[in-house]
Amino acid sequence: MKYMSILGGNFSGKIGNLVFYTYRSEQFCRLAPGKRSKPDTPAQKAWQEVFKTSGVLLRPLAEVLRLGLIHKNSEKGRWLSVASKNLLNKAVYKRADDYFLDYSRIELSKGSLWTADTKVYALNQELRFCWRFFSAVNSYAGDLAVLLAYNKNRQRWVYTIGQFKRADEAAVLKLPCSASTEDYEVYMFFFNAERKTASRTAYLGKVAV
């Protein structure tokens, strides 16, 4: 609620259970949050863990999301807000008192470009991508590819941006060396050379490398 200071001028701080603050040169007062009397339920703890995981997953992809969500970039930082909302709304499902992340439903891009029917396979420490190029509406030879692979166990992304064009019909993503087989969730999308639109994210499955 709005509060008129009897001292003259604005005051910020806490007195007892009241918190005073200033917003747009006006003084306001609110009740301080009290201590929670009940511990979090298993479902609440599971949701908090999923929310934490979503931040770990998306924050390293700043450059990728700026390209994939070009149409949502009217405000600084809007891309991360949009990506987080999409992930929590579309890629999280509940089973009993637990929440899980469906990696096949993660959306890193969205736009009018056509998403190619792409195959991926592992060779040594590389992921090989291949697709067919058809010159058509919303499919152009100069469209640039974004290739991504996520190692869930290491919480680490590997990606490349714009090194391959749609007309190339093939691409390679090099992965870190590992002494044992590791699983990667694999994605790709295209964006146009003018950086004005992108394609939807193509989830290419889990690949053991």
CATH number of the domain that residue 179 is part of: 2.60.40.10
Together in a domain, 116 and 157? yes
Q: What is the pLDDT of residue 173?
A: 97
**Structural domain boundaries enclosing 26:** 1-35
Number of other CB atoms surrounding residue 117 within 10 Å: 9
Examine the domain organization and report whether 85 and 179 are in the same domain.
yes
Q: Are residues 148 and 196 in the same domain?
A: yes
In whole angstroms, how far apart are CA 154 and each of 56, 57, 128, 151, 176? 11, 11, 21, 6, 11
Number of H helices, E strands in the chain: 3, 12
Identify the pLDDT of residue 15: 67
> What total of structural domains would you count in the chain?
2
Predicted model pTM: 0.74
| Same domain for 108 and 13 | no
CA-based nearest residue to 188, from 126, 122, 106, 125:
106
- Considering the domain architecture, whether residues 3 and 30 belong to the same structural domain is answered as yes
Give residue 48's pLDDT. 72
Q: Same structural domain for residues 29 and 113?
A: no
180 in Cβ contact with 99 (< 8 Å): no
List per-residue pLDDT tens for the chain, 209 residues long. Answer: 444 444 455 556 666 667 766 765 666 667 676 666 677 676 677 667 667 777 778 888 989 998 998 765 545 457 777 888 888 888 887 777 677 788 999 999 999 999 889 999 999 899 999 999 988 778 999 999 999 999 988 889 999 999 999 999 999 999 998 878 899 999 999 999 998 899 999 999 999 98
Pair 48, 139 in one domain = yes
